[in-house]
Amino acid sequence: MPEPTTDPGRGADHPPSLGLGTRIAVLFAVGGLLVSLGIAGATMALTRRQLVEAREQTATVVAVSNATRLSNQLTPESTIEDLPTVVDSLTKVEGGQRIIRLGDDWLPAPELDHDDLPPDLVARLDARLGGRLVTEVRGAPHVVVGIPLSAFDADYYAVVDLAGITHTLDNLQYVLLGAGAATTVLAALLGSWASRRTLRPLRRVRGAAEAIAGGRLDTRLGPQSDPDLDRLSDSFNEMARALEARIHRDARFASDVSHELRSPLTTLMAGVGVLEARRDELSDRSQTALDLLVQDLERFNRLVNELLEISGYDAGVADLDLTEVNVAQFLSATVAGMDGIRLDLPRDGHGLVIEADKRRLARVMANLLDNARRYGGGATTVSLECGEELVIAVEDDGPGVPDTERTAIFDRFSRGSAGGRRGADGGTGLGLSLVVEDLRLHGGRAAVEDRPDGRPGARFTLRLPRPTPHDTTEDDGR
């Protein structure tokens, strides 16, 4: 069976229903069941009719011939005692018995008496008419043929048991039921196979849609084997193209805006730089104004740069300038000159070299340290662990990050519950989202958790894949 296509995450608004594949299989099974039931029913009815008719006819023919012979052998003087000898010479039918009335006397059959005869038929014969009836005799179906012997005051009844036919029909019924069940199962299997075949292109569509949702915007469907499906894949590809174009246009717009801001920013920074160099010539008021200008220019500059970076990620054009980075040296250089930060390096980690974009990694660390300074009272420990992956952690002594904000804190322009505290040195609100993107480019991920020592404070972790060990240095000449 194909796996259910309903998304369990969205089960809240839609009760879980059977998947299309399952439905097709069930439909096939029900169809198979109905068809086999129909065929079985028709077969049963036809067979029953034919068997019963044949038996009736045989019974009638034999009864008529027997009645004629009986009539020929009787004389008006014959009494009921003479009958058994006459009757013995009559033709026998399997399962057949006969009851004969002569005057007021009845010659019963071995197992039946004249009380067992259907009264309707007896009444018919009393009126000197022949008749035939299929009816229950002693709880079992029988054919009863009644023939009046017109020359005498006598009737000939033949009672033929239909139990043999019922038995045959019962057997047939079992065979048909078995065939029906087999047909149903076969139909279900066929349905399941057909649905899988039918759904295979749909699964490809699903895969492509998931790829696009995952950011691989250039995903397209290949040609299908069926004109109907070709239309689907054409429409899908058209949608994907439009989506890609639109996303790129939006990202390019953000990128263009940021680019356009770079030229005036360059002028502003150079101009403000000149003013700063001549700060002493300015009045106190002008100096205050200049300080404001310098601070906000710095923030503006950061914001534009970060927006440019983000538009790069969104357009999928962000690439890594990979160089060899000695992680221990990198972390030492990162915290160099910063007071109050303990650097915790593993003893064997000093030769660890990864391929990374040093500029991006440096920005990641700067953002984490900046975040710790802003919201956690400053980082206390920067540590490195080399297990199955590299884990770089930045801890602070601040209030920590509540569970509910641990994902949202990495969103763009998110400041969490600490947002209200934003002062003149507030960040751009993009720092942690850049951390996530930069880590993703490196095949790693960022998270925030509790400090492992149980003390209050946040622990931001960066997990990077461990480098594959390379066939090493021909010479370590240090």
**Cβ–Cβ under 8 Å, residues 21 and 2:** yes
Least Å from the CB of residue 334 to another protein: 8
Judged by CB under 8 A, the stretch of 129-137, 186-194, 327-335, 448-456 that binds another protein is 327-335
Residue 5 in contact with another protein, rule: CB under 8 A: no
Specify the residue, 72 or 266, whose C-beta has the smaller distance to another protein.
266
Least Å from the CB of residue 390 to another protein: 15
Residue 257 in contact with another protein, rule: CB under 8 A: no
Residue 271 in contact with another protein, rule: CB under 8 A: yes
Least Å from the CB of residue 359 to another protein: 7
Which tokens in the block code for residue 38? 């129909």
Whole-angstrom CA distances from 307 to 43, 300, 350, 387, 428 are 78, 10, 35, 34, 10
Specify the residue, 39 or 265, whose C-beta has the smaller distance to another protein.
265
Least Å from the CB of residue 26 to another protein: 57
Which tokens in the block code for residue 84? 């058994």
- Going by their DSSP bridges, the two strands 458-465 and 131-137 should be labelled as unpaired
Q: What DSSP string runs through 312-367?
A: HHHTT------EEEEHHHHHHHHHTT-TT-EEE--GGGTT-EEEE-HHHHHHHHHH
| Residues from 354 through 383 that contact another protein (CB under 8 A) | 358-359, 362-363, 366
Specify the residue, 39 or 353, whose C-beta has the smaller distance to another protein.
353
- Rounded to whole angstroms, the Cα distance separating 89 from 111 reads 19
Least Å from the CB of residue 441 to another protein: 12
Residue 312 in contact with another protein, rule: CB under 8 A: yes
Residue 329 in contact with another protein, rule: CB under 8 A: yes
Least Å from the CB of residue 353 to another protein: 4
* Single-letter amino acid, residue 452: P
- String marking each residue 285-304 x if it binds another protein according to CB under 8 A: ----------------x--x
Residue 476 in contact with another protein, rule: CB under 8 A: yes
Residue 464 in contact with another protein, rule: CB under 8 A: no
Specify the residue, 114 or 358, whose C-beta has the smaller distance to another protein.
358
Specify the residue, 181 or 366, whose C-beta has the smaller distance to another protein.
366
Specify the residue, 205 or 308, whose C-beta has the smaller distance to another protein.
308
Contacts of residue 116, defined as CB under 8 A and 6 or more positions apart, other chains included, come to 137, 138, 159
In a 10 Å sphere around its CB, with 0-12 CB exposed, 13-18 middle and 19+ buried, how is residue 210 labelled?
exposed
Judged by CB under 8 A, the stretch of 113-121, 307-315, 413-421, 431-439 that binds another protein is 307-315
In the list 323, 404, 407, 417, the residue contacting another protein (rule: CB under 8 A) is 323
- Rounded to whole angstroms, the Cα distance separating 380 from 402 reads 19
Q: What DSSP string runs through 377-434?
A: SSEEEEEEEESSEEEEEEEESS----GGGTTGGGSTT--GGGGGG--TT---S-HHHH
Residue 278 in contact with another protein, rule: CB under 8 A: yes
User: Count of CB atoms within 10 A of residue 97's CB?
Assistant: 19
Whole-angstrom CA distances from 374 to 339, 361, 366, 377, 396 are 15, 20, 12, 7, 11
Residue 468 in contact with another protein, rule: CB under 8 A: no
Residue 266 in contact with another protein, rule: CB under 8 A: yes
Residue with tokens 């429409």: 235
Residue 91 in contact with another protein, rule: CB under 8 A: no
In a 10 Å sphere around its CB, with 0-12 CB exposed, 13-18 middle and 19+ buried, how is residue 376 labelled?
buried
Kindly list the residues in this chain that would bind another protein in the complex (CB under 8 A).
259, 262-271, 273-274, 277-278, 301, 304, 308-309, 312, 319, 321, 323-324, 326, 329-330, 333, 336, 351, 353, 358-359, 362-363, 366, 470, 472-478
